Every structure is written in C-alpha cells, then in structure tokens.
Amino acid sequence: MQIIDLLTQRDFLIAVLAAVSAAAAVFTFGTSLIGRRDTKERIRRVALERDRMRAEEMARLRGGKAVDSRANIRGGRETKSYMKGVVEKFDLKKAFQDDSTVDKLATAGYRGQGHLTAFLFQRFATPIGIFLVAAVYLLLLAPGGRPAYLNFTYAIGAGLLGAYLPLLMLKNATQKRQASIRRSWPDCLDLLLLCVEAGMSMEHAFKRVAREIGSQSAELAEELTLTTAELSFLEDRTRAYENLGRRTGLDNVRAVMTALIQADRYGTSVGQALRVMAEEGREARMMEAEKKAASLPPKLTVPLILFFLPVLFIVILSPAMIKVFSGGVASTMSGG
C-alpha cells in the first residue's frame, strides 16, 4: 500500500516526469551532436583520401613509383604507438592477416593502415583480456566450490570465445553499413539517371548524387565521394568502378559498376544502362517489400497466441464467470 501511495503522489509523478523530460532532452541533443561529429569525421576522411590520391597521382605522372589500386581506396588513420609496437613485435600480420582482411575492413568503413593495426591488435589482445578477467572472477572472486582446474578451464574457454569478438564486431559493422547502402541504392540510381540524362558527366553526376543522398545514407555518400575522387585522379576509370563495387561488397552495386564499365569500354549509352539497372533496382526493392509483407503473418502467430488470445478470452468469459459465481454465492447465502 505504501508503494501505491507513493506512486500516486503528485510530487512523485512530477519528479518522474521531470526526470524523463530531462533524459529525453539530453538524449536528443547528445544524438544530434554525435551524428554531427560522425558526419564531420566522414567528410574529413574523404578530404584526406582525395588529397592523398592527388599527391600519389602527381608522383606517378612525374615518374614516381606506381600506386597499387588496392591501396588507393583506403585513407589514413593515426594509431597508437603501443598497438603498432605489439603488432610488429609479435608479427601479427602473418598470424591474423590474409588476402581478404583489408577488403573486409574497407567494406565495414575502416580504411588505412591504422585501422588494420588496431584490428590486428584487438584480435591479439581481446582473448587475453577476457581470459584474465574470467580467471580472476572464477578463481578469486567467485570460485563457486568448483575445483581450480575446472574454473581455469572455463576461463580458457571464455578466452577462446573472446577471440571471435573482433570478427563479430567487424561483421556487425559491415552488415549495418551494407544495409544503409542497400536501402538507398535504388534512389541513388534514379538520381544518377536524371543527372546523366541532363547532360552531366559521370564525375559530376557522382558528385551531385553524393551531395543529395547524404541525408539518407552517409555511408553511400562517402563511397560516392571517394569514387568521384578516383574518377578524377586515377588513370583508368574502370578501376574506380571496380573499387566502388569491392568497397561496398554488394552484388547489386557490382552489377551496376559492371554495366558502367561495359558502357565505357564499348561506347554504349550510359543512360540506357542506368535506366535498365534502375528499373531492376526498383523491382528488387518491391519484391523485398512483398517478401517482408508475406512473412509478417507467421511472425505474428506467436505474439497473437501468447498475448492477444488470452486477453480476448478473459474479456469474453469474465462477465459470464462473474454472473455464475455471483449466482452461486447468492444461492448459498439464501439456502443458509
């Protein structure tokens, strides 16, 4: 009863509503600041990538060493000295890096040697850190009456599971980035088609679409901006298209880039290729929406059985049960 009285007091309700309002205000402004900071960071990375590509292309034209196309698509990132020292001391590149590691990081939006060094360091340090935390907890803080060797085995198992944590985080970041690009790609194709049919070149079309699509998908705008820089500075335009398909890791993007490469190579109409791909993109998005709509009834079956039907039965049967019980009580009292 004291709890009910407390919950119904006016001062308590005012305090709760004030706290909720303050938390909502802090969350709203904090989210806007974080989003603004993320957008500024993306713009800064794209500017650095453009400047680096310009410098490399000028060095190549002056007779310098040729630039690897796989390195062209990745910007720089300053990494901490101790991470770099650990990676070099234990030769973690040989242990954890393969031919697809750099491309996987680029697909997740992590470009540059700094991100690669941080990823290799995380793969080395995460299982060790989780093992130490689990060992201290199981052996010292909460042994639970189990033998020491069994707790030590559990700690080793936790460390082995922790070895997959950086891979799971990378996969999660990749899926979120690809989902954002996949959701905005049909609209991007429509805008590219409008720009090309208006007489713009592909460089200006990519630049214009990147500016317009940024409010819908910052990840896609970043990729288009990098493609614009590559189209301006790389010697072969097909490399820029291939880099965009490789960075996104999406089949529909690769298909469009292949169509653009063929149109550029054989001199066919770019507008016609974009029109066909845009229609296919719209049809694919409509099919995906129909697929989600068709899968909705089976997904609603379990919530319907668990939550809606019991409430419906209670509402229907409660008046009859109340009448029956009230009639039984009245007959008992009259008989007594």
> What does the pLDDT look like over 145-172, one tens digit per residue?
888 888 889 999 999 999 999 999 999 9
More confident residue, 294 or 335: 294
- Sign, Cα dihedral of 302, 303, 306, 310: negative
Query: Residue 157's CB: how many other CB atoms inside 10 A?
Result: 12
For the chain, the helix, strand and coil percentages under 3-state DSSP, each to the nearest 5: 85, 0, 15
* Whole-number pLDDT of residue 170: 94
132: tokens are: 């130490």
Up-side HSE of residue 114: CA atoms within 13 Å toward CB? 10
Up-side HSE of residue 169: CA atoms within 13 Å toward CB? 10
- Percentage of residues in the chain having pLDDT higher than 90: 21
| Average pLDDT score over the chain | 80
* Whole-number pLDDT of residue 166: 93
* Whole-number pLDDT of residue 121: 92
- Residue 88, classed as helix, strand or coil, is helix
Residue 74 has pLDDT above 50, yes or no: no
Q: How confident is the model at residue 61 (pLDDT cuts 50, 70, 90)?
A: very low
**pLDDT (mean) for 234-243:** 87
* Whole-number pLDDT of residue 160: 92
Residue 12 has pLDDT above 80, yes or no: no
210: tokens are: 């990147």
**pLDDT (mean) for 221-240:** 87
Angle at 72 between CA 68 and CA 77, to 5 degrees: 120
